């Protein structure tokens, strides 16, 4: 799976964004073969894992599978470096049947580092 975007991928430092809770507030990506850009609020769980919520009736959920890799456009809370591009993997997808996010899929995202 690849991402459609017009910007160049910006080189990044050696920091791992997953270790910095609340550094990013949203992520944007597109699925190859589709003209739709998707933007989602980023959530962190107790272990600081990044995830997004997708409504259970969304057509996007059929396109995403664990192991898919795409380039995400991450919007930062840091005004000096507001946008960063990260190679991102869908780690898992689970459905919340009765909790806080009932009616949504939780899509766990992981930043792919160069040593992975």
pLDDT in single tens digits along all 116 residues of the chain:
333 333 333 334 445 555 466 788 999 998 777 788 999 999 987 776 789 999 999 989 998 999 999 999 999 888 887 899 999 999 999 998 888 899 999 999 998 887 65
pLDDT for 57 equals 94
In a domain, 55, yes or no: yes
Q: Looking at the domain assignment, is residue 9 inside a domain?
A: no
Residue 91 located in a structural domain: yes
34 belongs to a structural domain: yes
Asked if residue 54 belongs to a domain, the reply is yes
- Residue 21: predicted pLDDT: 61
In a domain, 12, yes or no: no
CA distance 92 to 108: 5
Contact criterion met (CB below 8 Å) for 105 and 95: yes
Dist. CA 101–CA 85, nearest whole Å: 27
3 inside domain = no
Domain coverage including residue 80:
21-111
CATH code where residue 27 lies: 2.40.10
Classify residue 46 as exposed, middle or buried by CB count within 10 Å of its CB (0-12, 13-18, 19+): exposed
Element counts in the chain: helices (H) and strands (E): 0, 7
Which segments within 1-103 are labelled E, that is strand?
24-30, 37-41, 43-44, 50-55, 69-76, 83-96
What per-residue confidence (pLDDT) applies to 115? 62
pLDDT in tens, 9-34: 333 444 555 546 678 899 999 877 77
Residue 82 lies in a domain: yes
Q: How many domains does the chain have?
A: 1
């Amino acid at each position: 799976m690849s991402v459609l975007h017009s910007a160049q991928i910006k080189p990044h430092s050696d920091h791992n964004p997953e270790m910095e809770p609340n550094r990013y507030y949203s992520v944007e990506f597109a699925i190859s073969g589709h003209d739709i850009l998707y933007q989602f609020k980023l959530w962190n769980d107790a272990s600081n894992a990044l995830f997004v919520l997708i409504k259970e009736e969304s057509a996007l959920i059929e396109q995403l599978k664990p192991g898919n890799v795409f380039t995400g456009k991450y919007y930062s809370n840091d005004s000096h470096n507001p946008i960063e591009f990260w190679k991102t993997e869908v780690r898992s997808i689970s459905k919340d049947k009765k909790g806080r996010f009932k009616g949504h899929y939780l899509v766990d995202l992981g930043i792919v580092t160069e040593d992975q």
